A and B are shown apart, each in its own frame.
Chain A
């Protein structure tokens, strides 16, 4: 059997990792609040549109909703799925390449297949 090594943290390391964990938790909560807020705004906008409030036309609401959705996806990936932490460069590269291809190929389809 391979030997298992135990390495004790020094007090400085311990306090550093505690501080980091605290910061991470704080940003998680902040982002969670932001996401809830964006969701509330989205629902209110649609509700306002349905009740014919002036200024809430669908040409304003639909792009704004898409923008909010993109922000939500970003927050989800970077904060709740920890992509902002170290060592995620390669997964990011592959995800963005995939997203780019997933965007470009349908774009060519709508422009040259069903033009």
Chain B
């Protein structure tokens, strides 16, 4: 995006996006990729709810229903929620700490492409008609038993996507540790940056177990391994442990950035400093730490024995303490503030009661004896949808409205935004609140259909109507996005008018080098301090404007991932076809050649000249007046 408006053809634009290493563009790619999979997972959810609308329904077959629930869970967690949050982290976090880009722009691009191809690999299973059907947890005995290639798609697709996630996490860690602007100490970082930091650290420790588990599963299914086969001396329970050692931190990896987004929104639209900043940071770190100590609470009914169950039950309940600290800090941030109920703020206000309800049912399940009653019932379904939809999805929608102007330079329509919220929020509670009772009344989760006369009919109908309302809400949001994009009314630096953090001090969208001169940070809520002092430029520069060193774009990340994608098909078919092994070797060799090309060819980047930066500044000023 140069200062001089350049008309470029479709091919050039496409090439630009395929090769980009700019954190803002990769953020947009993550966001679009995540939204695509969100729609896919949403369609699966709608079919599930339509199937369960009436008793003895046969809209879909039992086998297809298993495919749908598995792909709904897997898609929503790995391919929708995480990438969309990564989109925000990529686009916003470097701006918040005053950095020009992430620490490793090339690896950032590689991380995105691994997510994209991993997600593609998983969903190509629909075209083959052999879809993962062992649940998103893919417990080993069932997943080893599953015929066809369904679970193979799961193992390899998640392996590729998981590798990308690990890279993104490490990249964010290095960025936050090393690339903060002068004066940006750890205790001056905005809460979204802090939660990105803690979530990334959790990715660093949680994803390697998933990688190991998925490799075990791959070996067992495709290369005649016996890690989980008890008849050959394996242990099927180990998969559950490995999966939840990853899986429990994973849900905190999702919710912590959501907390960060809401912390920003509460303080901006209450026009107050975040209440108890230090306690918030401490609570975030503590949640991150405790998240690793509780995985066995997913396995109370496995038969670990009373001692193990008791230890993990107590550890689980301990997490409610830092979470409570956060909830009260948010309430006290709003308390006495000059509140502006914008769309993001509406989501934030709706989030507090919804998430608290999800948290309370979580503590209920944390009590091991009660969990024996609740296990595998619709109560569980209600609980995790309350925390994930009531926490993460509301945060995603809030963040989408809040940061849309910064990412795209246009403002989403507020009225349509509020309509979206009303439909989605009402639909969400209608869908999932009643499911708690369905659980109490004995409806097991993951059932294809149910018999008439068990008292579940009305509740299931209500639930399905709620799901339709959510779909309407989401459709309104898509319409909003399309309308806003077509209208294309450009906005200034700080369209909400109350921005407190550095990202609102620069144009929307920012120039590709972000900051003409690295900013000097003089406290928490950097921009707010400048505003209070009546500063004209809104940024105190820490250095004079000089030439800026920038990296070149590269197609290599995409090619590397393409190799892994091809190798995945080779691994899957190598037992039944003669060409499988060849394709596996070819794919891996392709990746290694791409890696060698990257290593052997020096790419020293280029410089943006001082003259061009000054020219840009001039243009921005003229455009404003």
Contacts and interface: CB of A to CB of B under 8 A. Distances in A.
Contact of A115 (B205, B292, B293, B305): B305
A58 B101 CA distance: 56
Interface in B197-246: 201, 204-205, 235, 237-238, 241, 245
Contacts, number: 31
A1 interface: yes
B391 to A, nearest CB: 25
A2 B292 contact: no
A105 B201 CA distance: 17
A2 B205 contact: no
Given A108-B296, A109-B241, A1 B607 contact: yes
A59 interface: no
Interface in B237-286: 237-238, 241, 245
Contact of A113 (B177, B237, B546): B237
B239 to A, nearest CB: 11
B296 A1 contact: no
A94 interface: yes
A58 to B, nearest CB: 28
A112 B549 CA distance: 54
A90 B245 contact: no
Nearest to B307: A112
Given A1-B547, A108-B296, A113-B237, A97 B205 contact: yes
A112 B205 contact: no
A62 interface: no
B308 A112 contact: yes
A78 B292 CA distance: 27
B304 A112 contact: yes
Contacts of B204: 94
A101 interface: yes
Contacts of B305: 112, 115
B296 A101 contact: no
Nearest to A102: B205
Contacts of A94: 201, 204
B358 to A, nearest CB: 26
A90 B308 CA distance: 33
Most chain B Cβ neighbours within 10 Å, of A2, A3, A104, A114: A2
A104 B205 CA distance: 13
B24 to A, nearest CB: 23
A98 interface: yes
Contacts of A111: 308
A49 to B, nearest CB: 33
A2 B308 contact: no
Contacts of B201: 94, 97
A83 to B, nearest CB: 16
Given A2-B547, A2-B607, A113 B205 contact: no
Contacts of B241: 109, 113
Nearest to B289: A97
Interface in B88-134: none
A91 to B, nearest CB: 9
Interface in B274-318: 292-293, 296, 304-305, 308
A112 B293 CA distance: 14
A81 B168 CA distance: 27
A1 B610 CA distance: 10
A98 B304 CA distance: 25
Interface string B595-616: 0000000000001000000000
B200 to A, nearest CB: 11
B292 A112 contact: no
Interface string A1-38: 11100000000000000000000000000000000000
A112 B547 contact: no
Interface string B25-57: 000000000000000000000000000000000
Interface in B298-355: 304-305, 308
Contacts of B237: 113
A86 to B, nearest CB: 15
Contacts of A108: 296, 308
Contacts of B238: 113
Contact of B546 (A2, A101, A112, A114): A2
Interface in B527-549: 546-547, 549
A94 B169 CA distance: 14
A2 to B, nearest CB: 5
Contact of A105 (B245, B304, B547, B549): B245
B235 A113 contact: yes
B612 to A, nearest CB: 14
Interface string A84-95: 000000100010
Nearest to A97: B205
A101 B235 CA distance: 22
Contacts of A115: 305
A112 B241 CA distance: 10
A1 B605 CA distance: 12
Interface centre among A90, A94, A112, A113 (most CB of B within 10 A): A112
A98 B206 CA distance: 10
16 contacts: A1-B607, A2-B546, A2-B547, A2-B549, A2-B607, A97-B201, A97-B205, A98-B205, A101-B292, A104-B293, A111-B308, A112-B296, A112-B304, A113-B235, A113-B237, A113-B238
Interface of A: 1-3, 90, 94, 97-98, 101, 104-105, 108-109, 111-115
Given A2-B549, A98-B205, A113-B238, 12 more contacts: A1-B547, A1-B607, A2-B607, A97-B205, A104-B293, A105-B245, A108-B308, A111-B308, A112-B308, A113-B237, A113-B241, A114-B235
Question: Closest 8 interchain pairs by CB?
Answer: A112-B308, A112-B304, A2-B547, A90-B177, A101-B205, A101-B292, A2-B546, A113-B237
